[in-house]
A and B are shown apart, each in its own frame.
Chain A
Amino acid sequence: MGRIGCRGNQEKAGVGSTDQQSSAPELLRMERITKRFGDLVANDEVTFEVLPGEIHALLGENGAGKSTLMKILYGLQQPDSGQINLDRRPVTIRSPHEAVSLGIGMVHQKFMLVPNLTALENVVLGVSSPRPPLLELRDPRRRLMKLAEEHELAIDPDVPVWQLSVGAQQRLEILKALYRGARLLILDEPTAVLAPVEVGQLFRVMRLLAAEGRGIVFISHKLSEVKAVSDRITVLRLGRVTGSLPTAAASPSILSSMMVGRDVSLERVSPPVQGDAPILELQDVSCLTDRRTPGLDSVSLTVRRGEIVGVAGVDGNGQRELVECIAGLRPITGGRIAIQGRPPKGALRTIGLLGLIPEDRHEQGLVGDFDVAENLVLRAYGRRPFSAFGFLRWNHIRSHAVEQIDAYDIRCPGPETKVHHLSGGNQQKVIVARETQEDPALLVAAQPTRGLDVGAVESVLNLIRGQRDRGAAVLLVSTELPELFAVSDRVVVMHAGQIMGAVPPDPTRLGEVGEMMMGHTIQVAGDGGTAA
């Protein structure tokens, strides 16, 4: 094992230093790729290249266009313009099948495996048998085991996939791609599903593969992992490449500023209202994630009347669990949560207590098949005036919808429009309208601007500011630092389920936030502490 790793490193070094410079035998070059979805430009003249033997990280927040770019490369989507070159030859990739035959392999975030088939059967699935029509497994088994051994991808070929751990399934996916002769391997957020130990193993495998001259695209939004494993980093933001640089030259602050955007205005629109009464109080709150790993780790936080507390952090560091605990949707394993002195259980059913803008509009916030009017009363349908004696009063529901459509500028043909026909921004306005209509004491907004275009971002943020000015306590969770700094009265930073610290929304403190997002503890001056 150690021997192989050693040799790999030498080879890698060779590729990196000499070949790269002289003849630049690029494996992949995607040139000026543009892809639009309606008004949204997912990829805007993106140029991206991978050299043989290179681990090239593609970094960016959700919605930055990473997935779209890779879907184009894998033939799942066609670019509106631009050119893909493989080995300096222009290619058109119309389907994943064509991508595979060109030597491109992809490990999706959600594994594409048949649970009832064994590991070996999954590998040969879709590859024609050497002796058709018979299923010949002897040679494939030998090939698979050889690949597994060479790349430290331990796998039992005869175990049905459903019995394999997530890490083993991922190894199998990589083997599947190698079996099909992948020279360019795309790993879409491969670490998201792994435990820390497994992440280390994966990185070693990635280096081995690169040492053989394969190109690897590593998609991630975790700065630390990208720094640890990649040779080069390309950062995408809002569909554009904001920079591409060797990993050695990339510091966390450079990367975070590229992800965040340098030229963003951090202008505050309204001065902070001086709050007093604490509305939301968390004391040493802990909880588990869906996968039963620690989610929150002794989080203490107070949000007062008339203030917006921003929660910054790289996605997946406990923000989701924080929101769900506050909303009473996730049991806490320790500590205490109080909203106006009450436990969160049932808070969503209490009038005027808690408004919740969930992070996933489609999954958590809306019923796509319901019309706008129905979605606007998703929580209040059972109360007057929308309902009396258990019966719905459609005339009130409808006139309420007409008012809200007007008040919140929801662009739609009418209250009877099915909400899945609306654009993302207008869907979000439906949710904001619904969650604020009863003037809740606490508004929790999780990634409220994700995937929205600039205009919609502005109006959603203004609506949230309006709630603060009215006197609501607002907890705003976002991965977008400029937006947090623009509207928050105080920014706390989460990392690995903990609150690392708090800073006032002063643009000069952006660096500190970046450091804390990486997990570094920073001594913060007494201003705006988290009230432990």
Chain B
Amino acid sequence: MESAATLTRLVRRVFYRLVVPVVSIAAALSVSGVLIVVASGNPLEAYGAMLQGAAGSIGSLATTGVRTTPILLTGLAVAISFRAGVFNVGAEGQLYVGAAFATVVAVAPLGLPGFIHVLLALLAGFVGGALWVAIPAYLRAYRGVSEVVTTLMLNFVGIYLISYLIDPITGPIGERNASYAQSALVQETARLPVLISGTSLHAGLLLGIGLAVALQILLRYTGLGFRLRMLGGNPTAARFTGMNSSRQIVIAMLISGGIAGLAGAGEVIGLRMRLYDRFSPGYGYDGIAVALLANSSPLGVILSASFFGALRAGANAMQQATGIETSLVLIIQALTILFVIFGPLRGWVATRTTRRAGLTPGGSESAP
């Protein structure tokens, strides 16, 4: 009896959490469908080809996984900062710096067992990302400087820093006399294992999923998570409990930057095996979209990252089958986010859930 009620409540809660993202995706696909029709294509055919390319075979599923991995990690990075009320929009730069740190460790012939070398490289990636966000974190926590501006601007600094580091002539970690700007090859011992042989799906995906679960536990079941949520929920009230908000802001941002750094590390030691100039097509920015669609829930990020990953994976197949440009997926992605932040949809869920609680919305807040 008791457990049945708990189960119903859980189902209801999950349902209301899924309403906004699912309806937003459906709406985005519909509007994009109209665009396809306008461009004299067949939307069903296009989406069918896309689905085929994203999930039609083991190989395409693996591609979806590969595309999901980096945005899953950057999505988690952004989500954890959002939950603490901090807007780290610098995942892109942190990803690059994390990738560079991981590269330095991964290309060194340390003679370590594979497992430990991989861990060291990932750790270096985390440290690199965390270091890159440390300056904005300090400025935000102790000087009140908006982290939106500082983290965003450091993205460009980070990208150019990596260009310099791997320059074939002057770069300290650039491969000499290479025809491209790239680092040396990652040592065999420092490579993430491939999950399905014959594909490039690597263990970075498992890392992301494991991290999502860990963050969910952190937020819900630990004192640190409680502090971060308190900070995100009401920073003033947090201060009035005697909490040292500045320190929590720094912690939240370091975790966030570190995870973004892991995303860069994963790309280097899992997929590309070298650090390339401009290797990220904007994973750090996609992470913001991923986090928004998931309403900053770590477990939700798994779903939203998979969706965007599948879009990317299916895009090529769609172009080959129907001739529709791959950039359609960018339209879908953008429309999805527009619908997510579209007020009335959230308002509907808010009033429904409020009514469920048997109370009037707003409580006494409407009173003077």
Q: How far is the CA of A366 from the CA of B237 in the complex (A)?
A: 6
Chain A hits for B238, CB < 8 A:
367
* Least Cβ–Cβ distance between A41 and chain B, in angstroms: 10
A347 vs B366: C-alpha distance when bound (angstroms) = 34
| CB of B363 closer than 8 Å to a CB of A | yes
Q: Select B359's contact among A349, A366, A392, A421, beta carbons within 8 Å.
A: A421
State how many angstroms separate the Cβ of B228 from the closest Cβ of chain A. Answer: 12
Which residues 409-425 in A have Cβ within 8 Å of B in the complex? 413, 417-418, 420-425
CA distance A346 to B364 in the complex (A): 32
Shortest distance between the CB of A429 and any CB in chain B (Å): 13
CA distance A369 to B295 in the complex (A): 14
- Let me know if A63 is at the binding interface, CB within 8 A: yes
Pair B360/A38 contact, Cβ less than 8 Å: yes
Write out the residue numbers on chain A whose beta carbons fall within 8 Å of the beta carbon of B241. Answer: 348, 378-379
Name the residue of chain B whose CB is nearest to the CB of A41. Answer: B367
C-alpha gap A368/B365 in the complex (Å):
11
> Considering only CB atoms, which chain B residue lies closest to A328 in the complex?
B242
**Residue B282 lies at the interface, judged by CB distance under 8 Å to chain A:** no
**In the complex, are the beta carbons of A392 and B223 less than 8 A apart?**
yes
Partner of A365, one of B230, B240, B368: B240
Contact (Cβ within 8 A) B364 A387 = no
Tell which of A10-18, A356-364, A502-510 binds the partner.
A356-364
* B216-250, CB < 8 A from A: 220-226, 229-230, 233-234, 236-242
B242 touches A349 (CB 8 A): yes
Q: Report which of A327, A329, A374, A420 forms a contact with B362, defined as CB distance below 8 A.
A: A420
Contacts of B365 in A (CB 8 A): 362, 420
Complex contact A364–B363 (CB within 8 A):
no
In the complex, B354 has a CB within 8 A of chain A: yes
> In the assembled complex, which residues on chain A have CB atoms less than 8 Å from the CB atom of B361?
421
Partner of B240, one of A38, A329, A451: A329
Contact B233 A391 (CB under 8 A): no
Is B343 in the interface zone, CB < 8 Å from A? no
Kindly state whether residue B4 has any CB partner on chain A within 8 Å. Answer: no
Residue from B234, B357, B367, B368 in contact with A363 in the complex, judged by beta carbons closer than 8 Å: B234
Judged by a CB distance under 8 angstroms, whether B281 is at the interface is no
Does A67 sit within 8 A of B, measured CB to CB?
yes
Q: Is B113 an interface residue (CB 8 A)?
A: no
**In the complex, are the beta carbons of A365 and B233 less than 8 A apart?**
no
Min CB gap B180→A, angstroms = 44
Given the known interface contacts A358-B240, A379-B242, the answer about A423 and B223 at a Cβ–Cβ threshold of 8 Å is: no
A42 at the interface (CB under 8 A from B): yes
A388-445, CB < 8 A from B: 390-392, 394, 413, 417-418, 420-425, 427
A370 sits at the interface (CB 8 A): yes
Residues of chain A at interface, number, CB under 8 A = 47
In the bound complex, residues from chain B placing their C-beta under 8 Å from that of A421 are: 354, 357, 359, 361, 363
CB < 8 Å: which of A347, A367, A382, A422 contacts B237?
A367
Q: What's the Cα separation between A391 and B219 when bound, in Å?
A: 10
Given A37-B367, A42-B368, are A381 and B242 neighbors across the interface (CB < 8 Å)?
A: no
Tell me if B's interface is mostly helix, strand, loop or mixed: helix
Instruction: Tell me whether B236 and A40 are in contact (CB under 8 A).
Output: no
Say whether A40 contacts B367, CB under 8 Å: yes
Partner of A390 from the list B222, B230, B358 (CB cut-off 8 Å) is B222
In the complex, whether A448 has a CB less than 8 A from a CB of chain B is no
> In the bound complex, what is the Cα–Cα distance between A67 and B357 (angstroms)?
30
Q: From residue B84, how far is it (CB to closest CB) to chain A in Å? A: 13
Which A residue's beta carbon lies closest to that of B220?
Answer: A392
Residue-wise interface mask of A (325-364) relative to B, using a CB-CB cutoff of 8 A (1 in contact, 0 not): 0011100000000000000001111000000101000111
The answer, among A40, A370, A378, A382, for a CB contact under 8 Å with B223, is A382
CB-nearest residue of chain B to A378: B241
With a cutoff of 8 Å between Cβ atoms, the chain B residues found around residue A424 in the complex are 363-364, 367
Closest to B231 in A: A367
Q: Knowing A358-B240, A364-B237, A379-B241 are in contact, say whether A391-B223 is a contact too (CB < 8 A).
A: yes
* Closest B residue by C-beta to A419: B363
Interface centre among A40, A67, A327, A378 (most CB of B within 10 A): A378
Once the chains bind, are B368 and A368 in contact (CB under 8 Å)?
no
- In the complex, chain B residues whose CB is within 8 Å of the CB of A374: 226
Inter-chain contacts of A367 with B (CB < 8 A): 229-230, 233-234, 237-238
B237 touches A63 (CB 8 A): no
A65 on the B face (CB < 8 A): yes
Separation of A42 and B230 alpha carbons in the complex (Å): 32
Q: Cβ of A68 < 8 Å from any Cβ of B?
A: yes
**Can you offer 19 A-B residue contacts whose CB atoms are under 8 A?**
A42-B367, A327-B240, A329-B239, A346-B242, A356-B240, A363-B237, A365-B240, A367-B229, A367-B234, A367-B237, A367-B238, A369-B233, A382-B223, A391-B222, A392-B226, A413-B357, A413-B358, A421-B359, A422-B359
Shortest beta-carbon contacts, A-B, top 6: A348-B242, A424-B364, A367-B233, A37-B367, A421-B359, A349-B242
Q: Point out residues on A near B: beta carbons under 8 Å.
A: 37-38, 40, 42, 63, 65, 67-68, 327-329, 346-349, 356, 358, 362-370, 374, 378-379, 381-382, 387, 390-392, 394, 413, 417-418, 420-425, 427, 451
